[in-house]
Structure 1
Amino acid sequence: MDDLPPPLIVEVLSRLSDSTDLARCRLVSKTLNTLSYEVRSINLFCSFGRYVKSRSPTTKSPITPFKTIFNNLILSSRSVESISVGVEKPLRGLSYDDVEDESDDLYLTDVNFVKEWLPGVGCGGLRSLSISDFWVQSCWRRSEVLVLISSCCHSLLDLEVKNAWLSVDGLNPMPSLTSLTLEFIRLDDEDLNKVNECFPSLQVLNLIGVGGLKDPRIHQLQLKTCQWTMSNAPLSLTILAPNLVKLVLKCVKPQSLVLETPLLSDFHLSLEEAGKYEVKEFLNLTTLHLESTGLCSLIGTFPFGRTVKNLTVDSLNRSEPVKTKRFNLETLSDFFPNVSSLKLGPGAWSELESHFRSGCLEGKIGMKKMKEITGHLMVYDVEITKSFISSVLDKYTSLSDMALLIHREVDSSITSNLISSCSANCPRVRWRWGRWKEGMKDTWVSDGI
């Protein structure tokens, strides 16, 4: 290692995913010890195992406090550009009901803790900062860490704060910041307004599980990508972003939704019910993902679907087959006539199959450009499923690809029956088969399951 060029060693050390290894490297050789202070990235996360040991009467004495380890690493580093500090995922999943912990050893948005190290690195070349707090210790303490960051980090480009109750009183403008992620954060409407005002150059905004908002409003002129997941049911929700290209919006049941995003091309919308919506025309929308308990009424809010090429739909009614008529392929054809790729989630497939069971597919031919259909199947009645698939193939003569994922709990004999029947009855189509299950990643196989 000592024979490697120093810049290469620094590059390797800067890419360590766990900076506790950096501390170990300092004990290995004089060269590593010297060069370790030139690293550009510090990544330190408290593990669940360390947390448990720090609470056990038999093991807590020899455990070095997490904040002490971090301070030793960061205060001795001279060229840091990126900092990530936090607790690992198992700890982020704990709630105050699971464990009572009124200490502050993992309260990482504690402004007194951050003051110890941030001014020294923030005024330099710091470009990226991520703090993932321990919710059990942070949820009942309002932190001014965002204000401190805005006063110290004038060159910061990327900021991420998770699991905290934030104050914006005294927040300073950060015109250089282009990416902001707030995840599981407590904010009020006026706090979000302050964020709009002080971060005018945002191109990426992620608001995930941000609670406390009633009538939230995003007004960002430079924003290009936005992910917004609401943890409560707001009265109204407004997005004014003339340059927004991609939007992922998940909310419960807003009474009003206003979108002024004329350049939007990729839109993922998930909500329980469609209400009073004001949606300006999307002239560039090519990719659309819709998910709702009232899927048919939600589809009706998109009278501008002629530009959509890639469509994904799913109903949140997944627990059992739908017994009443909801939406059907005719509806999709009317609103999205130029779709070439259609993906049907398990709820949507179930609704379509239920509609087919109660009658038949409509005679009108729509979606003449349809090339590919992907479906997630439960297979309640294999004969009905086979008949439905056959009717779809008859309706869409331009279809060349069928990608079907079958639920993992479906009996293997039923699966084999479906695969062999479909492959034999329609050899003109390229078939792909796979498995799916809630909470698991879809898996594909090339020659059956």
Structure 2
Amino acid sequence: MDKLPESLLLEILSRLDNSADVARCRVASKAFNNIFPDLRSIKLLCSRKWCKNSSSMTSICFKKVFVDLISKLRVVESVCIRLQEAVDVDPADKDFAKEWLPMVSQTLKSLSLSGLPFPRLSQLNILPLISKYCHNLAELNLRSAWLSVYNLNPMPMLTSLTLSYTILQDQHLNQFNKCFPNLHVLKLEGVTGLKEPKIHLLNLQTCHWYDNNQLSLTLITPNLITLRIECLCYTAIHVEAPMLSHFHLILNTLKHAGFLLSEFPTTKTVETFILDSRSKAPGDARYSKLTLGKVFRVFPNVSSLRINSGAWSELDGWEILDGRIGLKTICAYLKLFDPSLTFSYVARGLDRCVGLSEVSLLIHRGVDGTQYKSFMFKCMARWPGLKWRWGIWGEDMEDFWITNAIDI
């Protein structure tokens, strides 16, 4: 090990997913110990197994190891602390944070603190400490914490913020907008404590709003390009985003979609539209409140349309695609409950898309291979002029694209 180049030793340490393993490598190898101070990131994952292996079931060992690691690094640019299960450690402990945050205040660019999900969220508001010490922080990720932005120092260097399953004391996001004026990326996932929130950020380019159980949301974002909205209830969404080009909409059922889209002004800049429903059972388009007619009235210049599996059987109104030269690509996730019915449904759309050039179809991994191939060859024979892409999808797997029918 001592004969390996220092650059390779540093690369090995930097690829370890848990800094606890880095600490063990330091003990096992003098070469690793010598090169360790050149690391620029700490990622400590805390679990019962980790504590047991460290001969302690308390937070003392965890904090000692963390402070020892961070104090020996020459430059610290990234810190991640994540709890993997119930242990006696709180990443948002202010006394703990006061011990190490000043050490990295000048160089820290990325900070991620992830506690346990509700109801065991941290009751300590760590945001003021972060704003006090981390003047050059660019990326912040906080999960399962109680937060308040009142009396918070503005953080103009912060460009990416993710808050997950937190309580945020700023009902309308007025102080929030003032404290984080230069955000480019904002993700609010399961945030409670809000009431008629308004996101008014002039530099925001990407926004992800997930399941925050709000009856209304206002977005005033002149530079927003990508918007992803996931909601379970009826939500009135007002959007002023003249640069928006990518819109991803995920609903509990498409019965809510018609109401939601009615709040949108006609947006001619959207080129990519992705539609999904969390509904797992086969639906009936007759009961849907959403048709493609409504989609294209709101987003008339969509050139790329993706329909995920839950939305497929609920969506109606393929006739609106008549003569749509602008629509170039369609991607759909299918389950093939009834292959003949699914094929006729696909035909209703593809026969009307005169400008279409590429179709991507992903079939659920539970479909028999013979049935998959039959459906695939039938589609390719019906529309030989289209460019076809085929794949397999599943609820707990990444999409797998097929290059050869034999792979099915």
TM-score bracket, normalised by the shorter chain, equals 0.7 to 0.9
Determine helix, strand or coil for the equivalent of 2:27. coil
Q: Which moved more, 1:426-435 or 1:293-302?
A: 293-302
What residue is the counterpart of 2:390 in the other structure? 433
CA distance in 2, matches of 1:253, 1:305: 23
Q: Which moved more, 1:215-224 or 1:252-261?
A: 252-261
| Per-residue Cα deviation, 1:293-314 (whole angstroms, up to 9, x for no partner) | 3334444555525444333333
What residue is the counterpart of 2:308 in the other structure? 345
CA distance in 2, matches of 1:351, 1:191: 34
What residue is the counterpart of 1:197 in the other structure? 178
Instruction: State the shift of 1:412 in Å.
Output: 4.2
CA distance in 2, matches of 1:187, 1:331: 35
| Per-residue Cα deviation, 1:156-186 (whole angstroms, up to 9, x for no partner) | 2222211212244542222222222211211
What residue is the counterpart of 1:65 in the other structure? 61
CA distance in 2, matches of 1:174, 1:206: 17
Structure ID, larger Rg: 1
Determine helix, strand or coil for the equivalent of 2:163. strand
CA distance in 1, matches of 2:266, 2:20: 53
CA distance in 1, matches of 2:367, 2:4: 56
CA distance in 2, matches of 1:175, 1:134: 29
CA distance in 2, matches of 1:316, 1:373: 20
| Per-residue Cα deviation, 1:29-85 (whole angstroms, up to 9, x for no partner) | 54543332332211111135336x489xxx757998222221221223332222111
| Per-residue Cα deviation, 1:334-377 (whole angstroms, up to 9, x for no partner) | 5555443322222443135xx68xxxx64982312333322222
1:304 and 2:266 aligned: yes
Q: CA RMSD in A?
A: 3.4
* Stretches of structure 1 lacking an aligned partner (at least 5 in a row): 92-100, 273-290
Q: Which moved more, 1:195-204 or 1:391-400?
A: 391-400
* Stretches of structure 2 lacking an aligned partner (at least 5 in a row): none
What residue is the counterpart of 1:171 in the other structure? 152
CA distance in 1, matches of 2:116, 2:320: 58
What residue is the counterpart of 1:157 in the other structure? 138
Q: Structure 2 vs 1, CA of residues 38 and 329 (structure 1 numbering), >3 Å: closer, same or farther?
A: closer
Of residues 352, 359, 369, the one that matches 2:326 is 369
* Equivalent residue letter for 2:50: R
Could you tell me whether the CA contact under 8 Å between 1:367 and 1:396 is conserved in 2? yes
Aligned identity (percent) is: 41
Could you tell me whether the CA contact under 8 Å between 1:337 and 1:366 is conserved in 2? no
Q: Structure 2 vs 1, CA of residues 321 and 410 (structure 1 numbering), >3 Å: closer, same or farther?
A: farther
What residue is the counterpart of 1:249 in the other structure? 229
What residue is the counterpart of 1:220 in the other structure? 201
Could you tell me whether the CA contact under 8 Å between 2:182 and 2:203 is conserved in 1? yes
Determine helix, strand or coil for the equivalent of 2:75. coil
Q: TM-score if structure 2 supplies the norm length? A: 0.84
Q: Structure 2 vs 1, CA of residues 70 and 339 (structure 1 numbering), >3 Å: closer, same or farther?
A: same
Determine helix, strand or coil for the equivalent of 1:405. strand
Could you tell me whether the CA contact under 8 Å between 2:245 and 2:269 is conserved in 1? no
The 5-angstrom pairing of residues 254-403 of structure 1 reads 256-271=236-251, 292-302=254-264, 304-322=266-284, 324=286, 326=288, 327-332=290-295, 336-352=299-315, 362=319, 365-403=322-360
Could you tell me whether the CA contact under 8 Å between 1:330 and 1:366 is conserved in 2? no
What residue is the counterpart of 1:23 in the other structure? 23
CA distance in 1, matches of 2:57, 2:202: 53
1:405 and 2:362 aligned: yes
Q: Structure 2 vs 1, CA of residues 37 and 433 (structure 1 numbering), >3 Å: closer, same or farther?
A: closer
* Equivalent residue letter for 1:340: S
Instruction: State the shift of 1:154 in Å.
Output: 1.8
Instruction: State the shift of 1:322 in Å.
Output: 0.5
Q: Which moved more, 1:255-264 or 1:66-75?
A: 255-264
Aligned length: 405
What residue is the counterpart of 1:288 in the other structure? none
| Per-residue Cα deviation, 1:366-406 (whole angstroms, up to 9, x for no partner) | 31233332222233333333333334343234433332222
What residue is the counterpart of 1:287 in the other structure? none
Determine helix, strand or coil for the equivalent of 2:378. helix
Q: Which moved more, 1:125-134 or 1:332-341?
A: 332-341
CA distance in 2, matches of 1:33, 1:362: 67
What residue is the counterpart of 1:39 in the other structure? 39
